[in-house]
Amino acid sequence: MNKSFLILKREYLTRVKKKSFIITTLLVPFFMAGIIMIPVWLAMRGDKEERDIAVYDESGLFLGELGQEGYTKYTFIPEDLYRELKNNIRNNSYYALLYVPANIYTTNTATLTSDKQVPFELIEEIESRLSRFIENDKRQKVIEETRVPDLEERLAATRTRVQLNSVKVTDTGEEKKSNSFVAFGASYIMGFIIYFFVFMYGSMVMRSVMEEKKNRIVEVIVSSVKPVQLMFGKIVGTALVGLTQVAIWVIIGLVAVTILQGFFSPEQAQQMGQSIMESQQQINPAASQAAAQEGSQNQLLEIIEMIGNLNLPLILFTFVFYFLGGYLLYSSLLGAVGAAVDNDEDSQQMVFPITFPLILSIIILFPIARNPEGSIAFWASMVPLTSPVAMLARIPYDVPPWELLLSMALLVITTGGAIWAAAKIYRIGILMYGKKVNLKELIKWLRYKN
C-alpha cells in the first residue's frame, strides 16, 4: 500500500508541476470571466463615438425635433447642399447623410448614405427615433379623431402578460416553487462538467500508461510493484489532479467574487444594471422602467429561492458518485487501451468505440434536460456508459428512487467488471511489444491465469 502511495504521489506531483497544468488551471477562470464580463463591459461602455449626421428632411416632419441626441448630432441641411454632399461623399465633415422622403408617413422608409460601414447600433438608434416620432404623431391624430383624450392610458392598461407560477407538490405534500428553467440549467451544466472531466482525465490516464510502455520503464516498475498497484496509483493520482484543478477554480472564483464585491458597492451594481436596462429601453420604451426593474429583482430572488428548493444534498452526492463512477469506468478502460497498444494511431482506433457512448451522452444531453421523463432519458440513465452524464442531467427534476438506485447499482457492477478486465489487459499489455492487438486478442488475454 505504501508503494501505491509512492506511485500516486509521483503521478500527482509530476502532473501538477507541469507547465501546461498550471497554465490551464490559471487561465481557464480568466477566460470564463472574460466570456461573462466582456459583454457586460461592452454594454456598460456603450457606443460613445460622437457622430455628426446631415439630415435632408423632405417631409419637414422632423425639423426642430432632432438636434444633439446623446452622442449623435443631427444637422438639417437644404436639398442643394444635400445633393452636393452626396456627390462628394468622401470629402465632407459629416459622418453620414440622412434623407427623409416626403412620403415617409406611408412608406416607412428613409435612406442613410455614408462612405463608412455604419454600425448596427447607430442604424437601430436612428430607426427607433424616426419610428417613435411618427408613431407618436399618428397616435396624436387618432386621439384627435376619436376625441377620447385618455385613449393612450386606456390602451396601455389593456396590455396583459400572464405569468405561470409552477408549484411542485412533494411526496410529503409540501408545496415548492419549481422552475423548469433553473432545473434545466443545473442539469445541463452538471452533465457537461462530468463529461468534460471524465473525458479529459480518462485520456490523461491512457496517455500516461502509453508513455510508460513506450519509455520501457514499465518493466522496471512492475518488478517492484504489482501492475494493479501501478494502475491504481495512476488512476487515483490523476483523479486527485482533477479535484485539485476544480478546487483551485472554486477558490479563484470565490476570491474574484469577494474582490468584485469590494470594488462594486450594491448601489454601483444597481447603477450598472440600470444603465444596461436604460440602453435597452431606448429601443423598447414600452414597459415602464420602474416596473421592469422591480420585476427583474423579483425574478432574481425567485431564482435564488428555486435553487434553494433543488435537492442540493442529493445533487451533491450524486454528482460525486457519478463523477467517480464515470471516471473510474472510463479511465480503467482507457488505461487498458493504453497498455494494449504500441503507438498513437492504434490507440485512436480503439479509443473511439470506448468514448463513443460518452460523446453520445453529451449529444443527447439537451433532449434529456428538456424531457427528463422520456424513454431516451430513462435508458441513457440506466446504461452505465452514458448514465454518469444522463442520470445527473435528470437529478434536478427528481428521479424516482428505484430508478436512481438501479442506475447506481448498474454503474457500480459495470465499473467493477471494467476494472477487473482492465487490470488483466493492463498487466499483459504493458509487457507486450510489437504486436498489433485486436478485440479477439484482448478477449484471449482476459482468459489468462494470473
Partner 1 sequence: MEFFSAHHIDKTFSSLQALTDVTLSVEKGSIFGLLGPNGAGKTTLIRIINQITAPDKGELFLEGHKLKASDVEKIGYLPEERGLYKKMKIGEQAIYLSRLKGLSHSEAVQNLTYWFRKFEILPWWDKKVEELSKGMQQKVQFITTVVHKPSLLIFDEPFSGFDPINANLIKQEVLKLREDGATIIFSTHNMGSVEELCDHIALINKSKKIVDGPTEKIREAYKSNIFKITYQGDMDKVTGALKEYRILKHSEDREVKHLTVQFTNGSTNNELIQALIPVARIISFEEAIPSMNDVFIKAVESSNNN
**How many angstroms separate the CA atoms of 291 and 101, rounded?**
38
Residue 65 in contact with residue 110, Cβ under 8 Å? no
Q: What is the longest distance spanned by two Cα atoms in the chain?
A: 100
Mask of contacts with partner 1, 192-211, x by CB under 8 A? Answer: -------------------x
**How many angstroms separate the CA atoms of 362 and 355, rounded?**
11
Contacts for 233 with CB less than 8 Å, ≥ 6 apart: 3, 4, 5, 6, 7, 8, 10, 11, 225
Q: Which is nearer to partner 1, 236 or 380 (CB)?
A: 236
SS3 342: coil
CB of 6 to partner 1, least distance (A): 5
Q: Which is nearer to partner 1, 10 or 141 (CB)?
A: 10
Centre a 10 Å sphere on the Cβ of residue 73 and count the other Cβ atoms it contains: 16
3-state SS of 270-319 is: HHHHHHHHHHHHHHCCCCCHHHHHHHHHHHHHHHHHHHHHCCHHHHHHHH
Contacts for 275 with CB less than 8 Å, ≥ 6 apart: 44, 46
Of 221, 307, 315, 408, the residue at the interface with partner 1 (CB under 8 A) is 221
Nine-digit cell at 24? Answer: 490551464
CB of 5 to partner 1, least distance (A): 10
Of 43, 225, 252, 360, the residue at the interface with partner 1 (CB under 8 A) is 225
SS3 104: helix
**How many angstroms separate the CA atoms of 250 and 256, rounded?**
10
CB of 429 to partner 1, least distance (A): 13
CB of 444 to partner 1, least distance (A): 6
Q: Is 444 in the site for partner 1 (CB under 8 A)?
A: yes
Q: Which is nearer to partner 1, 5 or 105 (CB)?
A: 5
Q: Is 14 in the site for partner 1 (CB under 8 A)?
A: yes
CB of 341 to partner 1, least distance (A): 16
Task: Report which residue type is found at 17.
Answer: K
Q: Is 255 in the site for partner 1 (CB under 8 A)?
A: no
Of 37, 38, 155, 217, the residue at the interface with partner 1 (CB under 8 A) is 217
Specify the residue for cell string 428613409: 110
Q: Is 3 in the site for partner 1 (CB under 8 A)?
A: yes
Q: Is 359 in the site for partner 1 (CB under 8 A)?
A: no
Q: Is 239 in the site for partner 1 (CB under 8 A)?
A: no
Of 131, 433, 435, 446, the residue at the interface with partner 1 (CB under 8 A) is 433
Centre a 10 Å sphere on the Cβ of residue 44 and count the other Cβ atoms it contains: 13
Of 102, 376, 431, 446, the residue at the interface with partner 1 (CB under 8 A) is 431
Residue 95 in contact with residue 51, Cβ under 8 Å? yes
Of 22, 220, 316, 409, the residue at the interface with partner 1 (CB under 8 A) is 220
Q: What is the CA radius of gyration of the chain?
A: 32
Q: Is 440 in the site for partner 1 (CB under 8 A)?
A: no
Residue 306 in contact with residue 317, Cβ under 8 Å? no
Residue 16 in contact with residue 8, Cβ under 8 Å? no
CB of 241 to partner 1, least distance (A): 16
Of 24, 140, 224, 296, the residue at the interface with partner 1 (CB under 8 A) is 224
Of 164, 216, 262, 345, the residue at the interface with partner 1 (CB under 8 A) is 216
For partner 1, the binding residues (CB under 8 A) are 3, 6-7, 10, 14, 211-212, 215-217, 219-225, 227, 431, 433, 444, 447-450
